[in-house]
Amino acid sequence: MAGQKHVSFGCPHCGQAGEVVWRGEGADRELLRLSDGFHVEEGRLPGVRHIIVCNNCDEIDPPRIMP
């Protein structure tokens, strides 16, 4: 589908691999899909809309994939 961006990543703490799929760009982008083994949390970091957290080690993924 047009406008989707697939980003492969790995948890920098435990190495668990995953993929996230976004639609759109910048502040308006929307999370469409996230690999099993990760979840999204809101309000964990001040000023961050939502963050991706590893289910295995509960660490926050690098800022390069967060909106």
Q: Domain ranges for the chain, please list them.
A: 4-65
For residues 6 and 35, the answer to whether their CB atoms sit within 8 Å is: no
d(CA 6, CA 11): 16
More confident residue, 55 or 28: 55
CA pair distance 61, 41, nearest whole angstrom: 11
Quote the tokens at residue 4.
Answer: 């989707």
pLDDT at 49: 67
The confidence band for 41, taking pLDDT boundaries of 50, 70 and 90, is: confident
